[in-house]
Amino acid sequence: MPPQDDPPARYWRSNTRLVALLTLVWALLSFVVPLAGIESITLFGAPFSLWMTAQGAPIAYVLIIWWYDRRMDRLDRASGPGHDG
Amino acid sequence: MAEAGAAARPGAGAGSQRSLHRRYAVYVVTLVLLTLGLGALERVGVSRAWIAAIFLLAPVALYASIGLACRTTHSAEYFVAGRNVPAVYNGMAIAADWMSVASFMGLAGLLYTSGHAALAYVLGWTGGFCLVAFYLAPYLRRFGQYTIPDFLAERYASRGARLIGALVCVLCSFSYVVAQIYGVGLITSRLTGFSFEIGVFVGLGGVLVCSFLGGMRAVTWTQVAQYIILFAAYLVPVVWLAVKQTGVPVPQAIYGERLQKVGALERQLVADPKEREVIDALRAEADRYRARLADPEAALLRERSAAQERIDTMLAERAPVRELRHAERVLLALPKDAEAAREAWTRKRDALDERARPLGGLPPQSQAFAGDPDGGPAQRQAESDAKINFVALVFCLMAGTAGLPHLLGRFYTTPTVREARRSVTWALLFIVLVYLNAPVLAALLKVEVMQSVVGLRFDQLPRWLVEWSRVDSALLSFSDVNRDGILQFGELKINGDIFVLAAPEIGGLPFVISCMVAAGALAAALSTADGLLLTIANALSHDVYFKTLAPDAESSRQVAISKVVLMVVALGAAYVATLRAAEIMSLVTPAFSIAAATLFPALVLGIFWKRMTGWGAMAGMLAGLLVTLYYLASTHPGLRQLLGLTGEPALWWNVHPSSAGVFGVPAAFAVGIVVSLLTPASAAGTQFVEQIRRPSAG
């Protein structure tokens, strides 16, 4: 079997894809939204960017970490302890 | 509660998790009863000093008894809590470990005084956990040794990488731990009337009994207890103020509405002619200093003879002794020579210029960035500087979070990789539950001050205002600048650090809640100090002594050595804290920059890039460290003074000194990658990486 297709390599590729996607979300929340200064939309009575920086982003961080954990659990189970070496 | 740790013996299963839940439930009930009981005693008329002493000492006694119950000489117990801390509890321990006294006391105040700019701390201190979760925690647990330098040493098969890692651990943790102990001294002395030094040593006793006897295991179970108390202490005043102002008990629900209220009050104050009078008076005062600064030597002579003349006339007129004393003090307080005068007067002029602006120089609460993109060149520059510094600070705090060894070491303590991953989610959840309230608290306090305090007559000021100004005028001061007998917003100067401690008094809560908040701040300080002390002691004893100098030593001897080192480091930190160098607080953020520029790149590249070599890691860490330290030393005001540097500091792109990591991190990555490509790849390193990347069992 070519090395890039053995189960650990497949597992690792799925992991890096997931991490890359979530890192992108993280970067948007951390660096783009606070600087965008969007004030035309209001969220819960506050300007969008301000509310996102003070309340929304921290909540979103919890959610994306939770999501990562869930996906990795599923991936771990699918890859199975049989491949654990 | 003292037996909490006993539940966590090796082989603990679901049954013992239930008993852990039960123990902490008993603890919560005890805490509530203690608060209610002391509240009742306060009603009956027991003195405040007694209530404060009981509320501060009872938790410290509890922490110490957890330490006693968890005492151990076994190295897996001592260094990684036997690796059987369930994810939820590890999450709470991480949260307490993470929230330092600076963030507990300072964050809301910083949001009050700096507005939007301070949100960088909210983002940075929470978003960093994404990096920890995605890039580090699962792999560190899978590797499963004792310290962060252990990881570097194994991955890179390099003693040098271990030693550099240990050096960095000590460097970034020490200034941080001194700041915690400084905070302990401040809180204890303020609340009980002990002297600052005794306060430091009482707090130190609590830290030491815990970490000294039981190591990581005792520290973990204590930190869980500390999280619960600091969470309650933060939440109670916020909810109370929210109910008092709006009738809604959920602070998050009223955040936007309160911001609008602050905005309306701010507009009212800016337009108020009385506030304008204050600004004009302050500006006139600043101009007086400006005039003196034109020729400090002559001005000093003038001031001196004027003061002497006043004393002479008083003597001639047989003025009362009290007035005479005051006049003498004025004379003595004048600067010694022209150089000192120039320095003192420049400081005063700048402080007055700072205050002689609308809203006392505070930015409007909802203003995103200073300056104006459509304004003149100075305004545009101010806006871009504010944006650059916001991003730089967020980046340094996040990468630093993912590099601070006292946090990363915690992921060794869970039973499995999955639990390590899950504990990041729990940790961030527990942290966010506290931090989300900080911006709301800032808005609530601003409404309270602008609405209920400003406009009062000077003889009617609330008690908290008067009492805090007596404690230290640097913390809170007010004076009737425009002499109308009424307090204007511009006449009040409050140091952000007191807001959380003063919040219960500002909201009119009973004194026992003030004690609870102080106990929460103490818990925040002690829990962080515990984690940091263990990290420093382990880096020195485990990595430097046991792994490098004396690899044949037995494991029980290793624990003994670690305890001795811990004691020495703790006493050293306490000694530095008693020197009361106020600059120490300003060195906490640079610690994040140092961790970000050294451990973070070495760990992440080591896991995600097989080609990374030991030489690359060492060169990268050193490059990151040197760039960060160079920028810090050449720009940080405290360090410049220490090194005797004079003249204008040369800032790069106007980046604030604390965010030095924004240059250090790219340097570390670049040097690490280039040097790795120039040195031969190692087969052992590749094998190690493949090992830690495998899926986890079950």
Q: Would you say residue B584 has pLDDT above 70?
A: no
Return the amino acid letter for B559. Answer: V
pLDDT at B170: 94
Q: Would you say residue B694 has pLDDT above 80?
A: yes
Residue B247: pLDDT band with limits 50, 70, 90: very high
Q: Would you say residue B224 has pLDDT above 90?
A: yes
pLDDT at A81: 58
Structural domain boundaries of chain A?
A: 3-79
B127 and A44 within 8 Å at the Cβ level: the answer is: no
pLDDT at B697: 64
In this complex, the residue of B134, B394, B435 whose CB is nearest that of residue A68 is: B134
pLDDT at B454: 92
Sign of CA dihedral B60, B66, B67, B68: positive
pLDDT tens profile B139-196: 999 998 889 999 999 999 999 999 999 999 999 999 889 888 888 887 877 777 778 8
* Mean per-residue pLDDT over chain B, rounded: 88
In this complex, the residue of B134, B366, B698 whose CB is nearest that of residue A22 is: B134
Interface of B with A in 418-437 (CB under 8 A): 418, 421-422, 424-425, 428-429, 432, 435-436
Contacts of A47 in chain B (CB under 8 A): 366, 368
Q: Distance between the two ends of chain B, CA-based, in angstroms? A: 32
Structure tokens that stand for B11 in this block: 């082989």
pLDDT at A80: 67
Task: Give the count of alpha carbons within 13 A of B84, CB side only.
Answer: 16
In this complex, the residue of A44, A53, A85 whose CB is nearest that of residue B123 is: A53
Q: Would you say residue B207 has pLDDT above 90?
A: no
A1 vs B: CB within 8 A: no
Q: Would you say residue A2 has pLDDT above 60?
A: no
pLDDT tens profile B85-103: 899 999 999 999 999 988 8
Contacts of A35 in chain B (CB under 8 A): 387, 390-391
Report ipTM (2 d.p.).
Answer: 0.92
Return the amino acid letter for B627. Answer: V
Place of tokens 């917003």: B489
In this complex, the residue of B130, B257, B693 whose CB is nearest that of residue A64 is: B130
Residue B583: pLDDT band with limits 50, 70, 90: low
Question: Of B440-454, B512-526, B543-557, B599-613, where does mean pLDDT reach its minimum?
Answer: B543-557
Which of A40, A35, A16 has the alpha carbon at shortest distance from B693? A16
**Nearest chain B residue to A64, by CA:** B130
Count Cβ–Cβ pairs < 8 Å, chain A vs chain B. 136
Question: Of B5-19, B377-391, B470-484, B621-635, where does mean pLDDT reach its minimum?
Answer: B5-19
Place of tokens 């890096």: A16
Place of tokens 């999450």: B91
B133 and A65 within 8 Å at the Cβ level: the answer is: yes
pLDDT tens profile B468-506: 888 777 788 898 888 888 999 999 988 888 889 889 998
A1–chain B nearest CA distance, Å: 17
Residues B564-573, mean pLDDT to the nearest whole number: 90
Question: Of B447-451, B609-613, B641-645, where does mean pLDDT reach its minimum?
Answer: B641-645
A10 vs B: CB within 8 A: no
Residues B331-341, mean pLDDT to the nearest whole number: 83
DSSP for B546-597?
Answer: IIII-TT--HHHHHHHHHHHHHHHHHHHHHHHHTT-GGGGGGHHHHHHHHHH
Which of A3, A34, A12, A44 has the alpha carbon at shortest distance from B440? A44
A24–chain B nearest CA distance, Å: 11
How much of chain B, in percent, has pLDDT values that exceed 90? 47
Q: Would you say residue B347 has pLDDT above 50?
A: yes
pLDDT tens profile B400-432: 999 999 999 999 999 999 999 999 999 999 999
Contacts of A67 in chain B (CB under 8 A): none
In this complex, the residue of A23, A34, A68 whose CB is nearest that of residue B390 is: A34
User: CA torsion angle for B134, B525, B472, B113 (degrees, to 10)?
Assistant: 20
Residue A85: pLDDT band with limits 50, 70, 90: very low
Strand partners, A43: A46
pLDDT at B497: 83
Residues 6+ apart with CB under 8 A from B452: none
| CA of residue A6 relative to chain centroid, distance | 25
Contacts of A75 in chain B (CB under 8 A): 695
A74–chain B nearest CA distance, Å: 10
pLDDT tens profile A34-81: 998 888 888 888 889 999 999 999 999 999 999 999 999 999 988 865
**pTM for the model:** 0.90
How much of chain B, in percent, has pLDDT values that exceed 70? 97
**Nearest chain B residue to A32, by CA:** B391
Which of B241, B80, B62 has the alpha carbon at shortest distance from B147? B80
pLDDT at B376: 83
Interface of B with A in 145-174 (CB under 8 A): none
Q: Would you say residue B439 has pLDDT above 60?
A: yes
Contacts of A36 in chain B (CB under 8 A): none
Which of B641, B654, B153 has the alpha carbon at shortest distance from B388? B654
B425 and A66 within 8 Å at the Cβ level: the answer is: yes
pLDDT at A5: 65
pLDDT at B398: 96
